Amino acid sequence: MSKEIDGVIYDTLTSTVDKKFTYGTPGDPHGYEETLYVTGDGRYFVYTYGGSLSKYPVENIFPIAREDLKSWVLSH
């Protein structure tokens, strides 16, 4: 998935996975994934996607500031 946010392109195909959290099992309508990526220039973003009844029923990308990384990871 690729998404432009504030003039910056965030792309899961050209970025590196840093951390991945999976909740539920494959096919679980309540299950979802949150994947932390880092771009080639050091920007971080989270890719989210899940089942139809999850908190992420539609895939999305949102940037995350470097200073927020630790608290984001610890919240999982």
The pLDDT tens digits of the residues spanning 44-69 come to: 999 999 999 999 999 999 999 999 99
The residue type of 15 is: S
DSSP 50-64: E-TTSS-SS-EEEEE
pLDDT-based confidence at residue 2 (cuts at 50, 70, 90): very high
Contact indicator for 20, 76 with CB cutoff of 8 Å = no
pTM of the model: 0.93
The residue type of 55 is: K
Q: What is the pLDDT of residue 51?
A: 96
Residue 33 corresponds to which tokens in the numbers above? Answer: 């994934």
Contact indicator for 44, 64 with CB cutoff of 8 Å = yes
